[in-house]
A and B are shown apart, each in its own frame.
Chain A
Amino acid sequence: MSTATDKRKAPAGERVADWADGRLGIYSLAKANMRKIFPDHWSFMLGEICLYSFIIIILTGVYLTLFFHPSMNEVEYHGSYVPMQGVMMSEAFASTLDISFDVRGGLLIRQIHHWAALIFVAAMIVHMMRVFFTGAFRKPREVNWVFGFLLLVLGMFTGFTGYSLPDDLLSGTGVRFMEGAILSVPVVGTYISFFLFGGEFPGSDFVARFYSIHILLLPGIMMGLLVAHLILVFYHKHTQFPGPGRTNNNVVGMPLLPVYMAKAGGFFFLVFGVIAAIAAIATINPIWNLGPYRPDHVSTGAQPDWYMGMPEGLIRAMPGWEINLWGHTLVLGVFIPLILFPLVLGAIAVWPFIESWVTGDKREHHLLDRPRNAPTRTAFGVAWIAEYIVLLIGGGNDMFAQYFHLSINAITWFVRIGFFAVPVLAFIITKRICLGLQRRDNDKVLHGRETGVIKRLPHGEFVEVHEPLSQDKLHTLTSHHQYTPAEIGPTVDENGVERKVGAMEKLRVKLSKGMYGEGNQIPKPTVEEYKEIQSGHGHH
């Protein structure tokens, strides 16, 4: 810091920084973070796409609020879109038409907003998969995993309330679906629906109410979670893949200033640029084709935005069970999907806690797993994705029927059975593939890389020349953890006193055997095995 005795006059930038440091303590902050090291891997960009599309959504969303009227007052349209002139519609719909046809650039911003929202949710799921399959959720990052999951759920609902705002025929149908789902809740469903809609559906309140939820309540919570998520990423430091020089106690990469400032900062502009170009060439949510909402009208092929396809699949596939007893109706056909929605989604969210309970591992993990080296986890993740895809197919059963000329009943039955069968199949197949890949890694470590060079031996035999791996590769392929399965242990101690083993402990041991027992992971090669094979070279 420059002082009064300092004869040299500091440059302007330094003086501004001095001013800020005296009030904000920025030098201490910069000391810790300016040259912070970030490891490099393409999959680490996925989270950045989430962050950047969120920023793009906020920027474009603020612009849209300048023109959008969140009102359900009925008005006659007199804007410049000729086919709708004279049509009665809500102010919300009319102002959305104005944004699309009368505000210069309004359509572009609307489409950037909508495209960025679709990309945001998609990027969150892919980012979550990256974190899941590499085991990046392990201690100390479990809380951040939960923050991320909450962001995904909130993102879905922010998207839903957002695309409901224009009060067009398609989104109104979606809101009606939501009302029907709320009505199915036992005891309080009717009351929640009346309070949410200010009376009967559709009433004249929901656009204004969804508006404050969409632009203030949910994004406000998300902003808080996002900041917390990023602070934790900084605080924990980034995970890295194993490799030469990369240990659990260091982080290898390049510094924030300048490399990641340029790479991550530049990537924001790449994401924004690509989304702007998509918005220029691909129309999204053309509400002018759909028309204003009327509860007695509907378009065929009514589809929600993609991330709502999963609950849509649940509700389409569920048989229409209804129980009428003592003057009350239990609408299981709708209520069970409503319950399954958070359960299916949340199954992936609780995995980190189940895994750490089974392993009993209390250590920090900063080195990522290769998915094959955690076969049960990987199989579970793939099973979850398979379930998600089955439900997406269910949610689009009419589209699949139309484009592939299939019977809609057959698709619905496929989803009903597939809901139970497909995840199991996916689990078994994935686990086998993982174990196969582990064996292949073992082969590579012990016998070297297949060179593709065929050698003919003096006695006529053909062999492929294998080339031993470099130490870098040997280390990378053998450095992963392998847990030994938990044991119940002796139930009688040395004094002959019997020890009670709880049901939970028995379950834990059973799960542990299923994850790390014989046949559930391939023991990695030992140094002795390696040396023995290397010394007897030539035996393949």
Chain B
Amino acid sequence: MSSQEIPEDKHLPSEQGDAHHGGVAVADDPFADPGLPVHKPRIQDIDDRAAKRSERTVAMLFTVSMLATIAFIAAYVIIPVDKIVYIFPLGKVSALNFALGMTLGTALFCIGAGAVHWARTLMSDVEVADDRHPIAAPADVKAKVMSDFAAGAEESAIGRRPLIRNTLLGALAMVPLSGLVLLRDLGPLPEEKLRKTVWAKGKLLINQNTGEPLRPEDVQVGSLTFVQPEGLEEGTHEFQTEIAKAAVMIVRIQPDDIKDKRELEWSHDGIVAYSKICTHVGCPISLYEQQTHHVLCPCHQSTFDLSDGARVIFGPAGHALPQLRIGVNGEGFLEALGDFEEPVGPAFWERG
């Protein structure tokens, strides 16, 4: 008796098809399996001219594929890589890309279409049935495996000598630790790095558009200006990593409109400087609505009110944008009065 014998659970329906495998219709049972339907010949099976037509179609598709490959090579050689052409309705496109793609596509597609047409019209389409066999092994095979395993385990003596077993398990459990330790030098420890930016007392606010230091009178009401600290050089890794924390946006708001007391204190003549890095997951905030003083992060739509301590008024961000305390130096340029007092960018476990 095989282990695949259907269990006699009462709530399980009987497997269909078991009773009348072979497809003999039982007169009493109108729902019985009538067996495989008779094969219906295709036109190609009975009309030799139709079969010939199919043959020619297939051969033609394969020939078109060959021609397309030749065209591909020709296009590769002839068309310059920078040639731009107008193709309706695509507009202006790279001539080489279009030619190579279409010829390669045609060459491949025609092989496929030819093969499928061949299979559908000329190869036999008589359906045949194959028997399935249970996946699980019969009981005698299982018994043999179990006794083999028992014999092997017995000969290894692993059950009788637990000291060997336990120390082996210990050794195998510990050896991956070496691999784990080796990962240590993937990067430095976080330490205080996420808390500090290059902003410091006396650092001038450099306009990112002009590269020049800003004077208060350069900042108009209603405009959003992106600034970076002086001394940051573009085109270096340090720049990428530092600007990822130090990017700042400034706006000028009528001092009367500033609702937050500390914001007013840290501003200069209505000019407020806030971190440009969203406190959600770190996208740079770039959209400013001058009437409401709202800024919006284009990535996940967190919205902050710059006239009220940059608190979150919509979206997934969890806390306000950090403000940079600014003033004016002796020469009349805007300068930072220190670093941010809290970490910029997304929140993290140690942020507190």
Contacts and interface: CB of A to CB of B under 8 A. Distances in A.
Interface of A: 36-37, 72, 74, 76, 80, 88, 101-105, 107-108, 111-112, 140, 173, 176-177, 179-181, 183-191, 193-205, 235-237, 242, 244-255, 258-260, 262-263, 265-277, 279-281, 283, 293-302, 315-322, 324, 327-334, 359-364, 366-367, 397-398, 408-409, 412, 445, 471-472, 474-475, 478-487, 527, 530-531, 534
B345 interface: yes
A263 B276 CA distance: 56
A281 B346 CA distance: 40
B284 interface: yes
Contacts of B189: 191, 194
B97 A236 contact: no
Given A276-B108, A316-B301, A248 B286 contact: no
B319 A244 contact: no
B254 interface: no
A296 B346 contact: no
A173 B348 contact: no
B347 A253 contact: no
Interface in B31-49: 31-37
Given A177-B282, A203-B237, A296-B276, A247 B108 contact: no
A273 B127 contact: no
A390 to B, nearest CB: 16
B228 A331 contact: no
A328 B352 contact: yes
Nearest to B106: A273
Contacts of A107: 94, 96-97
B82 interface: yes
Nearest to A398: B301
A440 to B, nearest CB: 17
B74 interface: no
Contacts of B314: 409, 412
A408 to B, nearest CB: 6
Contacts of B234: 88
A363 B6 contact: yes
A352 B236 CA distance: 53
B76 interface: yes
Given A176-B282, A334-B347, 19 more contacts: A105-B97, A184-B348, A187-B349, A190-B194, A199-B193, A203-B240, A252-B127, A266-B113, A266-B114, A274-B109, A277-B101, A281-B90, A296-B244, A364-B4, A367-B16, A412-B301, A471-B30, A474-B31, A487-B11
Give the top 7 A-B pairs by smallest Cβ distance, nearest first. A280-B101, A180-B281, A247-B17, A266-B115, A273-B109, A245-B36, A269-B112
B194 to A, nearest CB: 7
26 contacts: A176-B283, A179-B281, A185-B349, A199-B188, A245-B23, A245-B35, A248-B15, A254-B127, A255-B128, A258-B123, A262-B123, A263-B115, A266-B114, A270-B108, A277-B105, A280-B99, A281-B101, A296-B226, A302-B298, A316-B300, A363-B15, A367-B16, A475-B32, A479-B17, A484-B13, A534-B30
Contacts of B186: 195-196, 198
Interface stretch (B129-137, B144-152, B168-176, B214-222): B129-137
Contacts of B120: 263
Contacts of B105: 273-277, 280
Contact of B30 (A204, A244, A274, A530): A530
A244 B37 contact: yes
Contacts of A397: 301
- Of B81, B110, B112, B241, most buried by chain A (CB within 10 Å of CB) is B112
Contacts of A359: 12
B32 A398 contact: no
- Of B33, B186, B241, B349, most buried by chain A (CB within 10 Å of CB) is B349
Contacts of B13: 481-484
A152 to B, nearest CB: 24
Contact of A189 (B33, B99, B319, B348): B348
A250 to B, nearest CB: 4
A102 B94 CA distance: 12
Contacts of A36: 130
Contacts of A104: 76, 81, 96, 100
A247 B16 contact: yes
B204 interface: no
Nearest to A408: B301
A296 B247 contact: yes
B247 to A, nearest CB: 4
B346 A180 contact: yes
Interface of B: 4, 6-7, 9-13, 15-18, 21, 23, 25, 28-37, 76, 81-82, 90, 93-94, 96-102, 104-116, 118-120, 123-132, 134-136, 183, 186-190, 193-194, 208, 226, 228, 234-237, 240-241, 243-245, 247, 276-277, 280-284, 286-287, 298-302, 312, 314-319, 345-352
Contact of B187 (A37, A181, A194): A194
B76 A294 contact: no
A15 to B, nearest CB: 27
A333 B82 contact: no
A382 B232 CA distance: 53
A366 B280 CA distance: 49
A527 B27 CA distance: 12
Given A200-B194, A244-B37, A397-B301, A249 B287 contact: no
Given A180-B280, A249-B17, A295 B97 contact: no
A288 B110 CA distance: 33
B115 A265 contact: yes
A318 B312 CA distance: 14
B298 A398 contact: yes
B116 A270 contact: yes
Contact of B283 (A255, A274, A298): A298
A359 B244 CA distance: 55
B135 A364 contact: yes
A180 B282 CA distance: 6
A334 B21 contact: no
A74 B10 CA distance: 72
Contacts of B237: 72, 74, 203-204
B120 to A, nearest CB: 8
B115 A245 contact: no
Given A105-B100, A472-B34, A181 B281 contact: yes
Contacts of B28: 527
Contact of B81 (A102, A271, A280): A102
A249 B131 CA distance: 6
A202 B34 contact: no
A329 B283 contact: no
Nearest to A200: B241
Contacts of A475: 31-34
B129 A245 contact: yes
A484 B235 CA distance: 71
